[in-house]
């Protein structure tokens, strides 16, 4: 269940007040007395809330409901692939022209000009977006940038002509377990709500929410509708964007996750620079997390680090001298516990410079200097399959280093990758998804998009497909 939250740490003033109260605590045998004034018992987060709450907004995203695909009027395809609303088919009752659904989330104003950051899943597929301020004024917003890999999106208020209250970024790498935090959002559509808690853990990498798995965990209560809300410290700075909770019931049980502010800063900077996509450093190497068995084979005291599996020729990793079997343990002095931690550390580095990557090679510590440059873009030759086939509605592309890096695919892979599948399409109903690589169809090798387009246009009652998903090659039969 996706949620939102806000983080918040003790200010120097609060710490001083707490220290004073501890020093004044009566020792054994001392007389106890009733507090003489409210100031002696009151500690409130309200000054921080008053400062940051106006910068937290509600986000409303209108999305069209998928129409029934005319292909399902064909009785043969209804038999092979299922009908909408039935087994094997998408959708259900009430799907028709003009039907819409709305999603509700939260967002944070990060620039006084009206730039807002929220979660990608809040606005995914939206045709209209509106935001509502804490003072109940509503504005239309445009989507400036979407970054599915980090589950972040940037919006801009349309034609506002005013300056808005904004929240500054904190250094999320300085966040520590035990820091007090505040979460602000709109849970269950009840209105803006503030909860507080502590940072329960940092650098959570085994969560499985986004490509960049490096989350701040908190016990501040967050619930549906909090997605995209602020996690702030007691100085009123943004520590993270609340993204998900762990829950079996759909409600908060005190385990929530926020995207660190240092990752959010990268995405926002791309939007401020006029980009429609986030450009990140490209390593050009496949990494794997060190298991206890690998650690034993490498004579490591504990299973930490990111093990280099393969290195792409001509990539920054190759030019830096990184080798298969190297164990990456640090990036610019920051420790790397696993492959996910490396991805985060490397992805939050600015393009154009260099990063010093700490490595253990043959049992000895060394370091390599890696250029921080984006993966090369090649002509992708994108197209959408229109012919009546299992791939109808799939948007496909040839692979480039940049696309392979984005989708976590081996750049040496053959085949054509699926970029997206249309809602209600045949491809969606059959379970094809973004990142699937089609290798072969009906004994025809698929090397480029034109191959799959040609095969799809050929009438066939049975389709034999070989594809790769998640590094595993699978073969299956459709129809027949």
Output the CA–CA distances (angstroms, integers) from residue 335 to 173, 329, 332, in the order listed: 11, 6, 9
What is the number of residues in the chain? 480
Output the CA–CA distances (angstroms, integers) from residue 7 to 52, 179, 214, 218, in the order listed: 11, 8, 16, 8
Distance CA(188)–CA(219), nearest Å, equals 18
Pair 406, 444: CB distance under 8 Å: no
Q: Minimal CA–CA distance to 1: which of 194, 214, 257?
A: 257
DSSP 186-249: -GGGS--EEEEEEEEEEEE----SSSS--EEEE-S---BT-TT-EEE-TTS-EEEEEEEE--SS
**b/e code 127-156 from CB counts within 10 Å (16+ = b):** eebbbbbbeeeebebebbbbbebbbbbbbb
Task: Please give the positions annotated as active site.
Answer: 121, 151, 227
Q: Minimal CA–CA distance to 184: which of 108, 70, 268, 283?
A: 108
């Amino acid at each position: 269940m996706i949620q939102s939250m806000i983080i918040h740490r003790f200010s120097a003033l609060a710490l001083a007040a707490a220290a004073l109260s501890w020093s004044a605590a009566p020792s054994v045998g001392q007389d106890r007395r009733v507090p003489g004034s409210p100031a002696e018992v009151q500690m409130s987060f309200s000054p921080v809330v008053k400062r940051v709450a106006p910068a937290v907004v509600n986000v409303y995203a209108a999305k069209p409901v998928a129409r029934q695909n005319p292909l399902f009027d064909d009785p043969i395809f209804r038999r092979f692939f299922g009908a909408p609303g039935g087994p094997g088919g998408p959708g259900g009752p009430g799907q028709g022209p003009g039907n819409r659904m709305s999603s509700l989330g939260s967002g944070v104003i990060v620039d006084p000009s009206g730039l807002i950051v929220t979660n990608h899943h809040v606005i995914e597929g939206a045709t209209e977006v509106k935001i509502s301020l804490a003072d109940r004024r509503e504005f239309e917003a445009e989507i400036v940038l979407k970054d599915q890999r980090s589950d972040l999106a940037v919006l801009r208020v349309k034609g506002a002509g005013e300056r808005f209250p904004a929240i500054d970024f904190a250094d999320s790498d300085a966040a520590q377990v035990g820091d007090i935090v505040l979460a602000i959002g709109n849970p269950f559509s009840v209105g803006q709500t503030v909860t507080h808690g502590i940072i329960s853990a940092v650098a959570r990498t085994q969560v499985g929410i986004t490509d960049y798995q490096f989350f701040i965990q908190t016990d501040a209560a967050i619930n549906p509708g909090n997605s995209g809300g602020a996690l702030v410290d007691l100085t009123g700075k943004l520590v993270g964007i609340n993204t998900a909770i762990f829950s079996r019931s759909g409600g908060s049980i005190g385990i929530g996750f926020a995207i660190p502010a240092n990752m959010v800063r990268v995405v926002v900077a791309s939007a401020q620079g006029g980009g429609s996509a986030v450009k990140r450093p490209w390593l050009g190497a496949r990494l794997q997390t060190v298991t206890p068995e690998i650690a034993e084979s490498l004579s490591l005291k504990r299973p930490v680090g990111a093990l280099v599996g393969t290195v792409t020729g001509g990539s920054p990793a190759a030019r830096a001298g990184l080798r298969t079997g190297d164990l990456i343990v640090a990036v610019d002095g920051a420790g790397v516990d696993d492959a996910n931690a490396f991805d985060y550390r490397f992805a939050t580095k600015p393009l154009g410079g260099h990063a010093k990557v700490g490595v253990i090679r043959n049992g000895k510590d060394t370091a390599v200097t890696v250029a921080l440059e984006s993966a090369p873009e090649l002509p992708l030759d994108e197209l959408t399959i229109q012919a009546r086939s299992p791939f109808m509605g799939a948007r496909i592309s040839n692979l480039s280093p940049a696309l392979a890096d984005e989708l976590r695919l081996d750049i040496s892979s053959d085949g054509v990758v699926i970029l997206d599948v249309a809602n209600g399409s045949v491809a969606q109903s059959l379970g094809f998804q973004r990142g699937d690589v089609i290798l072969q169809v009906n004994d025809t090798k698929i090397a480029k998009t034109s191959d799959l387009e040609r095969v799809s246009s050929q009438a066939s009652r049975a389709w034999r497909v070989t594809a790769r998903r998640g590094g595993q090659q699978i073969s299956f039969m459709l129809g027949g």
